Amino acid sequence: MDKQDRQQRIALVPTMGNLHQGHLELVKIAKQHADIVVVSIFVNPTQFGVGEDFDSYPRTLDEDVAKLATVGADYVFAPSVDAMYPVLPPPTTVLAGAISSQLCGQSRPGHFDGVGIVVSKLFNIVQPDVAIFGQKDYQQLAIIKQLVRDLSYSIEIIGAPIIRADDGLALSSRNQYLTESERQVAPILHRELQDLAKQLKGGGISQQAFESLLKDKRTRISDAGFTIDYLEVKTEALGSVVSDSTTFNIENKNIVILVAAWLGRARLLDNQLVVVG
């Protein structure tokens, strides 16, 4: 049936399973925007690189379905790898472009191309009117919005706020990789982002002072036991805050602080939006 002929709106919440409260909040948001909520559960091989945790990524389908029932998800779509990819690697793919080469894409080449192809497939199969993605994966959300625009999908993309534990740690399926002692350290990441946001919020900062702040934060995070992948400040659209080799200006701008860091086996992501000025 053509979407225009449907009487009910369909929302899609794409996940890789091993669901936590953050995922359940996405479902609750989806229910506010649609009559029918479909949750996909699929550990997508094309977004994992060599040596990453595809084989060990937790697969907990029965528990996930039970959790989804408590928040009123209508359908669970849990396809096999063979059903999604008759041929691997797929001969036809989606290239995420320049936006994907920075931040997570720099250390995970090809990751966002894999995200692009699986999300395109899910959109084509489910035919949603709206799709919900978490803002914790800020770069991914930006790439999905770009994909919808460039491939002319008539789908509304909603970015859902980051859901945090009481101590500030962003909820993630990979948090279970943390040991007990690492779990005590992990909230430092968010606290350092909050502190940096506070220092940038007022504006009136030189490029030299800005770079010094970033250097100090990287040192503090590293000294706490993290191995930093990146800690960067970008415009809201993930552009540079340095407009050319001599001009630095974050006044009256929406900026985002983004971090990815390893703590033991867990790669933790977080970000903080800041309105400057």
pLDDT in tens, 119-155: 999 999 999 999 999 999 999 999 999 999 999 999 9
Which residues belong to the annotated binding site for beta-alanine? 47
Mean pLDDT calculated for residue range 51-67? 94
Q: Which of 208, 257, 252 is nearest to 233 (CA)?
A: 257
Q: Return the H-helix or E-strand segment holding 260.
A: strand 254-263
* 10, 145: one domain: yes
The whole-number pLDDT of residue 172 equals 95
Please give the Cα distance from 232 to 102 (Å, whole number). Answer: 10
Number of domains in the chain: 2
In a shared domain, residues 134 and 26: yes
Same domain, 141 and 26: yes
Shared domain check, 147 and 17: yes
Known binding-site residues equal 16-23, 47, 134-137, 140, 163, 171-174
Residues 97 and 200 both lie in one domain? no
pLDDT digits (tens, 9 = 90+) for 249-268: 776 688 999 999 999 999 99
Catalytic residue among 23, 33, 111, 190: 23
Choosing from 122, 137, 160, the residue where a domain stops is: 160
Rounded alpha-carbon distances, angstroms, from residue 246 to 233, 242, 249, 254, 255 = 17, 8, 10, 21, 19
Give the residue numbers of the binding site for (R)-pantoate. 47, 140
Please check whether residues 138 and 192 belong to one and the same domain: no
Distance, in Å, from the CA atom of 267 to the CA atom of 164, rounded to the nearest integer, reads: 16
- This prediction has a pTM of 0.92
Same domain, 13 and 130: yes
The pLDDT value given to residue 5: 63
Amino acid at 23: H
Q: Is the peptide bond between 91 and the residue preceding it cis, with omega within 30 degrees of 0?
A: no
DSSP-assigned beta bridge partners for residue 133:
159
Identify the helix (H) or strand (E) that includes residue 141: helix 138-150
**Would you call 111 a catalytic residue per the annotation?**
no
Q: Which domain holds residue 262?
A: 173-275
Dump pLDDT digits (tens) for 177-232.
999 999 999 999 999 999 999 999 888 788 888 899 999 999 999 999 999 999 99
252 Cβ neighbours under 8 A, 6+ residues apart: 203, 276, 277
Bind-site residues for ATP: 16-23, 134-137, 163, 171-174
pLDDT tens for 209-221 read 889 999 999 999 9
Whether 201 is in a domain gets the answer yes
Express as a percent the part of the chain with pLDDT over 70: 95
Q: Give Dmax over CA atoms of the chain in angstroms.
A: 58
67: which 2 tokens? 């959790």
SS3 content of the chain, % helix, strand, coil (to 5): 40, 20, 40
What's the chain's Rg over C-alpha atoms?
A: 19
pLDDT of residue 246: 57
CATH number at residue 125: 3.40.50.620
124 and 206 in a single domain? The answer is: no
Q: Could you tell me the two tokens for 119?
A: 């999300």
